[in-house]
């Protein structure tokens, strides 16, 4: 492979964020369509269950049992921290992940979702993280979110009760 064929880190991040935006868009469109023909609470419950199951599936496919620290170390090593502009820090509560950029939230806002939809879709998407964390016995606490117009998503992972 020639140097000209290589993708820069910036190009890779841009492409990854675009792929995430595509998935966020089709999720929102599916949710809205299903909510037209089914009671919305059933649509929300089904989406939460499916995405939580995806998180549990990811946990079952992890090669080893993860701790809060190793889960976030993996997030950094696989490039997730750069894609989501995340700051990882150890606190007295556990390992804190401050996410400053979320392509999901960006996509929902760009497609004209209401603030309530953005918040709902974000929380549903977080079911995947909750499922994966729980699959490893990790506690996940979510306080602030970009979806609620906070400065970052405040996600704290810990191996024992907070």
pLDDT digits (tens, 9 = 90+) for 49-58: 999 999 999 9
Question: What share of the chain has pLDDT > 90, as a percent?
Answer: 92
| Residue 150: closest CA among 91, 101, 94, 114 | 101
Whole-number mean pLDDT of the chain?
Answer: 95
Pairing of strands 86-90, 153-158: unpaired
Within 13 Å and on the Cβ side, how many CA atoms surround 41?
0
Question: Which structural domain, as residue segments, surrounds residue 39?
Answer: 3-158
C-alpha R_g of the chain: 17
Kindly report the CATH number assigned to the domain that includes residue 39.
3.30.1380
Q: How many separate domains does the chain show? A: 1
The average pLDDT across 85-102 equals 95
Give the pLDDT score at 56: 98
Say yes or no to pLDDT of 71 above 50: yes
Query: At residue 147, does pLDDT exceed 80?
Result: yes
The confidence score (pLDDT) of residue 7 equals 81
Query: pLDDT category, 162, cuts 50, 70, 90?
Result: very low
**pLDDT band with cut points at 50, 70 and 90 for residue 1:** low
Q: What is the pTM of this model?
A: 0.92
Neighbours of 108 (CB within 10 A): 26
């Amino acid at each position: 492979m020639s140097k000209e064929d290589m993708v820069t880190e910036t190009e890779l991040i841009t492409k990854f964020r675009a792929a995430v935006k595509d998935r966020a868009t089709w999720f929102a469109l599916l949710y809205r369509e299903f909510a037209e023909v089914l009671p919305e609470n059933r649509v929300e419950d089904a989406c939460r269950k499916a995405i939580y199951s995806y998180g549990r599936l990811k946990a079952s496919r992890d090669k080893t049992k993860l701790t809060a620290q190793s889960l976030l170390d993996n997030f950094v090593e696989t490039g997730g921290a750069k894609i989501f502009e995340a700051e990882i820090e150890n606190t007295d509560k556990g390992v804190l992940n401050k996410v400053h950029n979320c392509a999901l939230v960006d996509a929902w806002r760009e497609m004209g979702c209401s603030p309530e939809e953005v918040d709902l879709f974000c929380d549903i998407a977080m079911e995947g993280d909750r499922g994966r964390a729980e699959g490893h016995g990790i506690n996940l606490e979510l306080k602030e979110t970009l979806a609620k117009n906070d400065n970052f998503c405040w996600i704290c992972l810990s191996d024992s009760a907070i």
